[in-house]
A and B are shown apart, each in its own frame.
Chain A
Amino acid sequence: MSRRSRTVVFAAGAAVLAAFFALAVAGLPPFGNTDHPYRDLAVAASLRQSTANVVSSLTFDLRGFDTLGEEMILLGSVVGAVALLRPRPDEKEQNRSRTETNQSVALIAYVFLPLTLLLGFDLLVHGHLTPGGGFQGGVVLATGLHLLYLSGGYDALRRLRPLAWYEWVEGFTTAAFAAAGLIGVRNFLPRGVVQQLFSAGTVPILNILVGFAVGAGAVVLLAQFLTQAIALEDKDD
């Protein structure tokens, strides 16, 4: 296909897209109006379930099955990254000699490591009460753990992060969530009083389960990139 014909095809496609997009935008309800039928239904439903954070009620109760699908997307991308980034047979991980870490960076990382992990657990445990939840908490925990790399270097990270554990946690928690979805678990636990720590029935349990799945998944994912970028690097030098 010549450059000219490609441009013609693109222009035709872009014109059609622009026309339909303009039509769709023109048909939207005005920005910031008060008429939200879905909000009215969702807020009422999550209050019936004693879940203070309506978003958590949606993701783990009213539309929990969608979250199962998202779990599978995460699992698929982690498995894909592990398969694609596995070391070649002739590549070997090398024990790196101690690398110099910038002391001020290491200090900041030492201070923020416990704070970030605490924040991650806080997001996880209070997901049904305040903004946050399993996904956000899991990613904060996983990225916070990698402050170890900034403070103690790659060796410290590798020693304090037994990767096999994270692989098992990712597998078990995803399997548990899938099992709950397949046998059709509904919010069967007592819902308690709204805004209490022990409320919302199964929402906090699924929240924590997803938090561990996401956190472990992100750690396994990052570990593949770290191995490729750091551990296998020395070989060619």
Chain B
Amino acid sequence: MSAALIVVALLLVAAAGTAVVATGDPARQAITLSAYGIVLSLLFLVLQAPDVALSQIAVGTALVPLMVMLTVRKTKK
């Protein structure tokens, strides 16, 4: 059961990571990066690392995409 969950989570991470790389526009990439962060935190949760999962959600899903979007907004003008 848990081995199957780990495989599913790993496949999701691979798919989401590919989506981030395949996204060309940096503003859209911030969104796929955010989704990738959620999927990665699911993997950490399945691997029984809830502390790391929380860090991943806070930093990878909220903080970093926000900084990317603000930078894109500044540099696109």
Q: Which residues of A are at the interface with B, using a C-beta cutoff of 8 A?
A: 32, 53, 55-56, 123, 131-133, 135-136, 139-140, 142-143, 146, 218, 221-222, 225-226, 228-230, 233, 236
Contact = CB atoms under 8 A, between A and B. Distances in A.
A146 B62 CA distance: 10
A132 B53 CA distance: 9
Interface residues of B, number: 17
A222 B77 CA distance: 20
B66 A229 contact: no
The binding surface of chain B is classed by DSSP as helix
B66 A146 contact: yes
The 6 A-B pairs of least Cβ separation, nearest first, read A131-B50, A139-B58, A229-B70, A225-B70, A136-B54, A143-B62
B14 interface: no
A226 B66 CA distance: 10
Interface string B57-75: 0110011001100110110
B18 interface: no
A225 B71 CA distance: 7
Interface of B: 3, 50-51, 53-55, 58-59, 62-63, 66-67, 70-71, 73-74, 77
Contact of B63 (A56, A131, A139, A229): A139
Name, among A56, A136, A236, the residue most crowded by chain B CB atoms within 10 Å (CB to CB). Answer: A136
Given A55-B51, A131-B51, A136-B51, A143 B66 contact: yes
Contact of B51 (A32, A53, A142, A218): A53
Nearest to A130: B50
B51 A143 contact: no
A233 B58 contact: no
Nearest to B61: A143
Contacts of B63: 139, 142-143, 218, 222
A139 B60 CA distance: 11
